[in-house]
Amino acid sequence: MKRTFLRLSPRRYPAGLIGAILASAIFLTTPATSAQANPVETVNAKEETTRLHNIRGFLPDLRFELIGPDNEPVTAQAFRGNIVMLFFGYASCPDICPTTMAQLAQVMQKLGPDADQVRILFISVDPHRDTAEKLQAYVQAFDSHAIGLTGSEKQIADVARRYRVAYQIEEPSSNEPERYEVAHSRGIYIFDENGKARYLAADSESVDVLTDGVRTLLQ
C-alpha cells in the first residue's frame, strides 16, 4: 500500500486563520495542544475556552465527487439546502473519530426538529478498508442524518487537499495487510445551506458551542 501524506499549505490565508486551520491538523498520534490563534468569532461568549473560527471567504465551497451509501456516486450538490458538519476520519479509528461522531450526534439531538435541515458528512481517509457499506453502518450507529463517504485514493486526496487536511497511512505488513495505523487531521468544518464554508471547530469543541454555531446558520 502506498503511503499517502498531504501537507497543509499556509499560503493565501491570514495569519489568524492559519493558526485555526493548523490547530485542526494535529495528528491522532500527537498529544492535543491548545490553539495559538485568536478566534475570528466567538459563538458563545459564556464559554471563554470554546470557540468557532469564522472561515467565510477563506476556505472553498463544499465540493467533492465521492462514493456514498449503496456504493452510489455522491456530489456536494446533493446537500444543497442543508447545513453540513464535515469531519474526516476512518471507521477503525480507536478514539478521536467515535468521540467526535458522538459529539455531532449530540448536536443533532439538541437541534430537535431543526436537525432535519442538517447533515453530518464523514469522509474516510482510509478507502482501502472503508467500503461504502461498512462506512454507512458505522456513521448510522451515531445518527440517522449522518452520511459516510469514501472513494478512490485520488478522490480522497483531492477533497482532503481542498480543505488542507493532512493524513498518513502506515505501510502494512505482508502478514497482516488489513492491520495498519492511520494518522489524520482533526477538525469539524461547518458549511451553510449554499455550501459556503462558514466555521471551523476543534474536534474537542463543546456540544453547546457547535449547536449554537449551527443555529446561527439555520436562522
pLDDT at 44: 43
**Domain range annotation of the chain:** 15-218
CA 199 to the chain's CA centroid:
11
The CA angle 86-42-112, to the nearest 5 degrees, is 55
3-state secondary structure of 53: strand
The pTM for the full model equals: 0.79
157-192: pLDDT as tens digits: 999 999 999 988 877 656 765 677 788 888 999 999
C-alpha cell recorded at residue 175: 502478514
Strand 146-149: give its sheet, edge to edge: 53-54, 197-201, 188-191, 83-89, 118-124, 146-149
- What stretches of 126-165 adopt beta strand conformation (E)? 146-149
CATH class of 15-218: alpha beta
Higher pLDDT, 184 or 201: 201
